[in-house]
């Protein structure tokens, strides 16, 4: 199981930290959010180091579908209803700024960058598309209703965002990461304030930024209540179809489409980690029916942190941690959300005002319906009698037959058959 990005890119290696060090900023987590933050701090001559417990981009960054878009499902109608027009516009402006920054950086980086239109379609609900267009119109954004889509399924149409983009994230990050102060195979075992300890050394920092996908410091921020994790699946096909854009169903259980070179990347099979889902079986059945001449060349899965209100948590880890920051809860839109995170957190470290910070504030209200779903899952699985328990907070693990792993339905940790950690927040067997 290997993503198409792994097959068409190379990685550089970085040293392991083995001696005590002091720095202004410690970044924990070497995915795209952490690397971009390091890149911006490097450009501002701010002393920093980035540590990654494995190798950089070895987690969910290499498993993305790599769509660079400010259209994150049909989210603007929902934000407008719950947060009002000011914060809805903040969300849009932050993500549009992220796209512009990608376009600027990719002018000088060979990473298969292409401008593409993005489409969120519905198979049966025209009204929900019109509601989204109305919300976008209220905040001054010009989206379009597309009636006819080049997809092998019947739809009610789609909301289209023009001039979005796609790329190979590993090619991009290989260039971005060059010359950065990165340490691989450097596992943070303990945090005391802004001091981090590994097996070999101590890192003293003035500020700490956590970009570990799911935050690993449990005593602040209540992230175990505010998030759950979701798995989704992708297959890369030859001899399938050029869809000339990026497409995703507004329904969680729907399909996504985009091309990479001569390949069609077909995504879907989504389900809460630790629950049953259709996984690759759904995609292969769809391929058999709609692309009978296609050949599957590789397949992989992604895991995403889902926030209570579909807005990421970017900023201070909690109200009581002024020098501890976090970026998480990207809700399957990690490319633009990572860039938003890097730009916003760099501003915060530099003491600069960011006009869009408020909408991403991790300490905003948690009184959302998803909170009670998360709480129910936690209580149910804590009380489930089984010998297989998650070392994170003790929930019962469930067997994932498709991926041969033990998965936690509470917070999304995953383990191999013999107990090795595959996905956090658990950090030990």
Question: Does residue 34 have a pLDDT over 80?
Answer: yes
pLDDT the model gives residue 26: 98
Q: How far apart are CA 171 and CA 6, in angstroms?
A: 9
Give me the mean pLDDT over the 106-113 stretch: 97
Q: Give the pair of three-digit tokens for residue 278.
A: 């259709």
| Under 8 Å between Cβ of 160 and 186 | no
Architecture of domain 369-423: 3-layer Sandwich (2.102)
What pLDDT does 35 receive?
Answer: 98
Q: What is the pLDDT of residue 387?
A: 77
Q: How many CA atoms lie within 13 A of 83 on its CB side?
A: 25
Phi, psi of 288 (to 5 degrees): -60, -40
Report residue 419's pLDDT band, with 50, 70 and 90 as the boundaries: confident
Q: Is 76's pLDDT higher than 90?
A: yes
CA–CA distance, 32 with 64 (Å, rounded to integer): 11
- Give 373's pLDDT tier (boundaries 50, 70, 90): confident
- Predicted local distance difference test score (pLDDT) of residue 115: 98
Helix (H) or strand (E) holding 21: strand 21-28
Beta strands 228-238; 263-272: pairing state? antiparallel
In this model, does residue 429 exceed pLDDT 70? no
- Residue 146 has φ and ψ, to the nearest 5°, of -105, 125
**C-alpha Rg value of the chain to the nearest Å:** 21
| Residue 376, pLDDT score | 87
Closest CA to 146 of 124, 119, 123: 119
d(CA 271, CA 407): 12
Look at residues 380, 374, 372 and name the one whose alpha carbon lies nearest to residue 396. 380
Instruction: Look over the chain and give the mean of its residue pLDDT values, rounded to a whole number.
Output: 95
Name the residue with higher pLDDT: 122 or 253. Answer: 122
pLDDT of the residue at 309: 96
Res. 420: pLDDT tops 90:
no
* CATH fold for domain 4-64+170-226+309-360: FAD/NAD(P)-binding domain (3.50.50)
Write out pLDDT tens, residues 318-348: 999 999 999 999 999 999 999 999 999 999 9
The pLDDT of residue 424 is 87
pLDDT tens digits, one per residue of 38-71: 999 999 999 999 999 999 999 999 999 999 999 9
User: What class does CATH assign to 228-306?
Assistant: alpha beta
Q: How much is the average pLDDT of 226-250?
A: 96
Condensed to tens digits (0 to 9), the pLDDT of residues 78-96 reads: 999 999 999 999 999 999 9
The residues spanned by each domain of the chain are 4-64+170-226+309-360, 228-306, 369-423
Say which DSSP state 323 is in.
Answer: T
Q: What is the pLDDT of residue 20?
A: 97
Same CATH fold, 369-423 and 4-64+170-226+309-360?
A: no
């Amino acid at each position: 199981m290997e993503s198409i990005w792994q097959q068409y890119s190379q990685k550089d290696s970085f040293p392991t930290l083995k001696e005590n060090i002091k720095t202004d900023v410690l970044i924990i987590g070497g995915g795209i959010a952490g690397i971009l933050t390091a890149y911006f701090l490097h450009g501002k001559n701010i002393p920093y180091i980035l540590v990654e417990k494995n190798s950089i981009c070895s987690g969910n960054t290499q498993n993305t579908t790599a769509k660079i878009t400010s259209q994150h499902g049909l989210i603007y109608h929902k934000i407008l209803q719950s947060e009002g027009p000011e914060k809805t516009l903040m969300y849009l402006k932050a993500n549009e700024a992220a796209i512009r920054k990608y376009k600027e950086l990719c002018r000088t980086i060979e990473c298969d960058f292409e401008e593409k239109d993005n489409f969120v379609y519905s198979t049966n609900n025209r009204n929900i598309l019109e509601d989204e267009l109305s919300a976008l119109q209220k905040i001054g954004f010009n989206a379009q209703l597309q009636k006819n889509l080049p997809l092998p399924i019947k739809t009610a149409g789609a909301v289209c965002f023009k001039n979005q983009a796609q790329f190979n994230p590993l090619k991009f990050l290989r260039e971005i990461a060059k010359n950065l102060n990165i340490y691989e195979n450097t596992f943070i075992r303990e945090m005391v304030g802004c001091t981090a300890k590994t097996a070999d050394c101590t890192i003293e920092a003035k500020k700490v930024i956590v970009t570990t996908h799911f935050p690993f410091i449990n005593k602040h921020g209540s992230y175990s209540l505010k998030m759950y994790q979701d798995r989704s699946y992708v297959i890369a096909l030859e001899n399938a179809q050029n869809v000339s854009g990026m497409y995703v169903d507004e329904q969680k259980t729907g399909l996504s489409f985009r091309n990479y070179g001569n390949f069609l990347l077909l995504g879907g099979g989504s389900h809460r980690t630790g629950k049953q889902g259709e996984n690759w079986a759904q995609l292969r059945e769809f391929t058999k029916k709609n692309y009978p001449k296609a050949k599957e060349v590789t397949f992989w899965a992604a895991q995403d942190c889902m926030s209570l209100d579909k807005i990421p948590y970017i900023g201070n880890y909690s109200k009581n941690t002024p020098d501890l920051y976090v970026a998480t809860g990207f809700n399957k839109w990690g490319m633009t959300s990572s860039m938003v995170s890097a730009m916003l957190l760099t501003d915060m470290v530099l003491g600069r005002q960011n006009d869009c910070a408020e909408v991403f504030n991790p300490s905003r209200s948690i009184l959302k319906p998803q909170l009670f779903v998360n709480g129910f899952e936690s209580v149910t699985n804590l009380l489930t009698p089984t010998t297989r328990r998650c070392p994170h907070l003790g929930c019962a693990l469930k067997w994932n037959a498709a991926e041969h792993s033990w998965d936690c339905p509470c917070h999304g940790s995953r383990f191999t058959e013999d107990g090795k950690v595959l996905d956090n927040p658990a950090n030990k067997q």
